[in-house]
Structure 1
């Protein structure tokens, strides 16, 4: 009985975290989109990846031996780098505006 209550609380907490992540993602899309129905422009993708990278970096500061998550972090950083390179080649002004808004060093 006690284990079921603990698992139930863990699930509720997990559900709240997932809901917060979805709301945060929607807020980022709203902030970085280039037009009304934009959800996949490079700016939006880079902003979402940056948020996920920052979150995972904090996780890895606490859990230093979580190598599986570290690999995922490296893949996300590589994907963000490729998207930024694409944006830089397509429109350097949008690129510069984005990195200044996100506070990235490039």
Structure 2
């Protein structure tokens, strides 16, 4: 008998200040559920910079004070809930525009 593997797929949408999709939107990635948790998702989005940076850039320049506050707030995102709870927090706080989470199994 083949062991079934539980997978989770994330589709993340972000956009620029003009409302056009960014180069990474939609970002679609998959992970084995047993090897991935909400903290991993937070780190994956941050390292890949698949987040909205709109409010820390003005006149084409990064405002370092705003960027530090933006990063600090992101570090405070709730990690004790589900993927959906974390992604909804990101959406509500303008770190992403939208998301979808799907679970499936493979043999």
| TM-score, normalised via structure 2 length | 0.31
Name the structure where helix makes up a greater proportion of residues.
1
Higher strand share: 2
Compare relative contact order (CA 8 Å, sep 6+) and give the higher one, 1 or 2. 2
Q: TM-score, normalised by structure 1?
A: 0.31
